[in-house]
Chains A and B, each alone.
Chain A
């Protein structure tokens, strides 16, 4: 059974750095074609893809946020960590951890965590 779970602060102050951890089970990030990434959703709004880390350490970032994002992994702990610097109230959203899998080289997000709601306020 594949599961992912997000953890981290639910409240951060403006200008602070957000660090979110995704702890997953049921698959290995060492398996070819597998990735773990992050997607966010502001309240009442659409989904926004942020970052993705593949089994081969290939990192992909949303260009609009790339300067603020870092995605890393700890394979031994089955964890992926996302850091986002200089948080602003517009970054308030539910942040989802997702597993990415590829078929015919086309990635899709087949498993999602429950999400963590992050508020940005002083």
Chain B
């Protein structure tokens, strides 16, 4: 199985800040990397697919980058609704594995 490791596991920030979450795959996955946002008590929502493509309706302050084994999710100018848990997920091969999550909370 491909292991996905996110860092940090948790992150505190303020409204207006810019934050970056990193996701590393245990082997190359090309650009087969997706990002999800999960708010407390809710189902996850797709933010970015195939490393850098913004899902319809997702604000442009979310940006994905990377390829191979190293990927990043950057959120610029944090808004109150962005405080949530973020997961990366690889679609290179089954089983389609997720990272352990990064919880972003208010400083």
Contacts and interface: CB of A to CB of B under 8 A. Distances in A.
A42 interface: no
Contacts of B34: 108-109
B50 A96 contact: no
Contacts of B91: 106-108
Interface residues of B, number: 24
B31 to A, nearest CB: 7
A32 interface: no
Contacts of B43: 96, 112-115
Contacts of B49: 103, 106, 108, 110
Nearest to B48: A108
A49 B90 CA distance: 11
- Which of the four size classes fits the interface of chain A? 20 to 34
Interface stretch (A18-26, A60-68, A82-90): A60-68
B31 A47 contact: no
B31 A62 contact: no
Given A49-B94, A108-B50, 20 more contacts: A46-B101, A47-B87, A47-B98, A48-B98, A49-B96, A49-B97, A60-B94, A64-B95, A96-B44, A103-B49, A103-B50, A106-B31, A108-B46, A109-B34, A109-B44, A109-B89, A110-B55, A112-B43, A113-B43, A114-B43
Interface of B: 1, 31-32, 34, 36, 43-46, 49-50, 53, 55, 87, 89, 91, 94-101
